[in-house]
Amino acid sequence: MQPVLLIDFGSTYTKVTAVDLSGPTLLGTAAHFTTVETDINEGLNNALGELSKKVGTLDYTARYACSSAAGGLRMITSGLVPELTAEAARLASLGAGAKVIKVYAYELTEEDIEEIDALKPDIFLLTGGTDGGNRAYIEQNARMLAQCKTRFPILVAGNRSSTTTCLRILEGREVTACPNVMPKLGALNIEPTQNEIRALFLERIIKAKGLSTAAELIDGILMPTPAAVLSAMELLSGGTKTTPGLGELVGVDLGGATTDIYSIAAGHPDHDAVMKGLPEPYAKRTVEGDIGMRYSALGVLEAVGVERLAELSGLSEAQVLAMTEHISAQPDSLPDTEDYAALDYAIACAAIETAVTRHAGHLEEIYTPTGPAYMQMGKNLTGVTKLVVTGGAIIHNQQAPLIARHAFYTESAPFSLKPKTADIYIDRRYILASMGLLGQNHPDAALTIMKKELEYHGTAE
Amino acid sequence: MEKKKLVLGVIGADVHAVGNKILDHAFTHAGFEVINLGVLVSQEEFIEAAIETAADAIVVSSLYGHGELDCRGLRDKCKEAGIGDILLYVGGNIVVGKQPFEEVEQRFKDMGFDRVFGPGTSPDEGIAFLKKDLNITE
């Protein structure tokens, strides 16, 4: 037996997972409240106590952890044009597992600097200009950033002609140069920046957030939790050298406060659509901060309207309004009556509908003198045939497979390029983040366990 | 010397892709760095690309006769976006039907275009003007 321990320090729960590499099999999972205010090890030890009741006391050969505790990895980004470098910077940060709390475009103002000081980001990503392109904005923004009173690491990933100037302007601060996130117009190069974000997270953020006491006990906090989930999705999709994966997939992670959507897919146009806008990463992550089951329940209501929630739940509009208010004010509440269960079902369906629609690309029809033509913005996911559902707010819901269908393409919104027909897999044991971690060193074991443990719920459309 | 940069594209709801590819090839061969936005390009896309890349000129094509409507206001938007002095070229079948070219040219110059080219212009002609306007000496 070769037991390995995987730990996810979440914002609410610390989740622990034990696997045996020599199976490879999943031995068991347990969870306890995260205790970041006092000592993070308290929650961890409680969770480990729970785990040992289930799997016995094991002599772990390795312990790996990921974390989204203490607010996760909070980033602010700036670029030049909102749809171009500012968007590239945002995509880079999201893909690195960050929570993007603010995106600036064009010139930073005095007010922006005050706002940045107040928001105290963990990392600032400064971009702007293609290589050999505009220099004025990024250099001006570096000068503005140099006025910040708070200290945070800054990554410079803009026009390479400006890099040295920016480093000079920001001298005395913790600043790192990366290759341009958009070296040519319409071409992304975000991986080097993402690696740097991860390195900073390891070196610095963990300590700043009081997680280092835990880090000493384990073999390292490897990455932010969303980066671990994205990594698991990539492994599940692409497979390893010896075992094939599931192929292109869409992942949904429905939480209490946010909903994360992942797509591991090329997203090329179907027929003769002309691609517009920035090319998107093959492994793409988006986060909807206003869409979730509890803290963000009102955001869902706002996004889809009370009529839609009433229709999905079978409740009256007045009931929906009152009950949604209630659960968002009391995020710990469980759906203990039939009505609240119906509301949870409706919010979950609407959350997935909204978040996948925002993540997926869409078509725009244009009338030309020679007939209609189509422009595609974002990724075409209509051909993706696997849907993976995770998130504490949904995996225990018996209706999860039905809820998952709301990720699909509908006739009523024919220009939204969501999956048409897909196999549904549900992460009932809540192991995706752990498998993303395990996959860093043991991809074959992680893939085998995921394939075994993800519950298959048939093909739906 | 650093290459001069051109943002190239076919404006509006126009999907004529062949001329666009020929121009891309010809301008690149002539020593320019071409940022080709392809077909169905909006005014905003031309401007955003020019800002981000610090382009020296925007070269607009239009083949389907609606160029006059599509091009109106482009210079003003460039001014608004802080690149008011950028060189603006337009060429192709830029108006409806057969109209005297002198009138068409004047109308587009009034709109703020620096050079206007009618149907059947050879790429060489455009290249010669670009070199002149951008002070490129061989």
Per-residue pLDDT of chain A (461 residues; tens, 9 = 90+): 899 999 998 878 899 999 999 989 999 999 998 887 777 888 889 999 999 999 999 999 999 999 888 778 999 999 999 999 999 999 999 999 999 999 999 999 999 999 999 999 999 999 999 999 999 999 999 999 999 999 999 999 999 999 999 999 999 999 999 999 999 988 999 999 999 999 898 887 777 667 776 666 677 677 899 999 999 999 999 999 999 999 999 999 998 889 999 999 999 998 788 888 888 999 999 999 899 999 899 999 999 999 999 999 999 999 999 999 999 998 888 888 999 999 999 999 999 999 999 999 999 988 887 788 899 999 999 999 999 999 877 888 889 999 999 999 999 999 999 999 999 999 999 999 999 999 999 999 999 999 999 999 999 88
A256 and B CB contact within 8 Å: no
- Interface size between A and B, measured as CB pairs under 8 A: 60
CB contact under 8 A, B53 and A85: no
User: Could you give the CA distance from residue A376 to residue A394 in angstroms, rounded to a whole number?
Assistant: 31
How much is the pLDDT for B1?
A: 63
Which CA distances in Å does B79 have to A423, B44, B51, B74, B86?
52, 12, 12, 9, 9
User: Could you give the CA distance from residue B23 to residue B132 in angstroms, rounded to a whole number?
Assistant: 18
- Residue B96 CB contacts under 8 Å (≥ 6 apart), including other chains: B65, B66, B68
Best CA proximity match to A74, nearest among A116, A112, A9, A123: A123
Q: B residues 43-62 near A, CB within 8 Å?
A: 45, 48-49, 51-55
User: Could you give the CA distance from residue A453 to residue A193 in angstroms, rounded to a whole number?
Assistant: 33
Strand-pairing partners, residue A281, are none
Q: How many other C-beta atoms are found inside a 10 Å radius of the C-beta of residue A118?
A: 9
Encode A73-92: b = buried (16+ Cβ within 10 Å), e = exposed.
bbbbbbbbbebbbbbbbbbb
| Tens-digit pLDDT profile for residues A199-231 | 898 887 777 667 776 666 677 677 899 999 999
Which DSSP symbol is given to A370?
A: T
Best CA proximity match to A263, nearest among A422, A116, A77: A422
Pair (A384, A252) in one structural domain? yes
Best CA proximity match to A92, nearest among A236, A286, A366, A268: A286
Chain B environment of A140 (Cβ under 8 Å): none
How much is the pLDDT for A186?
A: 85
Q: Is residue A10 part of a domain?
A: yes
**Residue type at A210 in one-letter notation:** G
User: Could you give the CA distance from residue A109 to residue A274 in angstroms, rounded to a whole number?
Assistant: 37
Residue of A nearest to B83 (CA): A134
Phi, psi of A205 (to 5 degrees): -65, -40
How much is the pLDDT for A423?
A: 97
Encode A141-167: b = buried (16+ Cβ within 10 Å), e = exposed.
bbebbbebeeebbbbbbbbbbbbebbb
- Residues of B belonging to the active site: 14, 16
Pair (A144, A84) in one structural domain? yes
**Residue type at B57 in one-letter notation:** A
Helices (H), A360-431: 400-404
Pair (A80, A162) in one structural domain? yes
How much is the pLDDT for A214?
A: 67
CB contact under 8 A, A134 and B52: yes
**Residue type at B113 in one-letter notation:** F
User: Could you give the CA distance from residue A300 to residue A295 in angstroms, rounded to a whole number?
Assistant: 10
What are the tokens at A233? 């999705």
Q: Is residue A318 part of a domain?
A: no
A85 and B CB contact within 8 Å: yes
Contact A449, A413 (CB under 8 A): no
User: Could you give the CA distance from residue A95 to residue A87 in angstroms, rounded to a whole number?
Assistant: 12
Instruction: Name the residue range of residue A64's domain.
Output: 3-70+209-219
Read off the CATH number of the domain in which A47 is found: 3.30.420.40
Beta strand B5-10 with A455-460 is unpaired
Best CA proximity match to B36, nearest among B12, B5, B63, B67: B5
Pair (A191, A246) in one structural domain? no
Best CA proximity match to A78, nearest among A20, A27, A138, A12: A138
Pair (A239, A114) in one structural domain? no
Chain A environment of B38 (Cβ under 8 Å): 274
What are the tokens at A63? 């312990």
Contact A132, A146 (CB under 8 A): no
Determine the distance in angstroms separating the CA of A98 from the nearest CA of chain B, rounded to an integer: 25
CB contact under 8 A, B52 and A135: no
Residue of B nearest to A160 (CA): B53
Strand ranges, E, within chain B: 5-10, 33-36, 57-62, 87-92, 115-117
CB contact under 8 A, A129 and B52: yes
Chain A environment of B40 (Cβ under 8 Å): 274, 276, 366, 373, 375
Q: Is residue A177 part of a domain?
A: yes
- Residue A424 CB contacts under 8 Å (≥ 6 apart), including other chains: A387, A389, A401, A404, A405, A456, A457, A458, A459, A460
Pair (A90, A56) in one structural domain? no
Long-range CB contacts for residues A366-370, cutoff 8 Å, separation at least 24 = A366/B13, A366/B40, A367/B13, A368/B13, A368/B14, A368/B15, A368/B64, A369/B13, A369/B64, A369/B65, A369/B66, A370/B15, A370/B64
Pair (A88, A158) in one structural domain? yes
Contact A385, A408 (CB under 8 A): no
The fold of the B63-71+81-100+109-133 domain, in CATH, is Rossmann fold (3.40.50)
Instruction: List % helix, strand, coil for chain A (3-state, nearest 5).
Output: 40, 25, 40
Pair (A133, A247) in one structural domain? no
Chain B environment of A133 (Cβ under 8 Å): 5, 52-55
Which DSSP symbol is given to B41?
A: B
Candidates B43, B52, B53, B77: best to mutate against A (most CBs of A within 10 A) is B52
- Per-residue pLDDT tens digits of chain B, which is 138 residues long: 689 999 999 999 999 999 999 999 999 999 999 999 999 999 999 999 999 999 999 999 999 989 999 999 999 999 988 899 999 999 999 988 888 999 999 999 999 999 999 999 999 999 999 999 999 986
Pair (A283, A394) in one structural domain? yes
Q: Is residue A337 part of a domain?
A: no
A130 and B CB contact within 8 Å: yes
Pair (A102, A238) in one structural domain? no
Chain A environment of B39 (Cβ under 8 Å): 274
- Domain ends where: A186, A219, A252? A219
Q: Tally the domains of chain A.
A: 3
Minimum-distance CB partner of B52 among A81, A366, A373: A81
How much is the pLDDT for A72?
A: 83
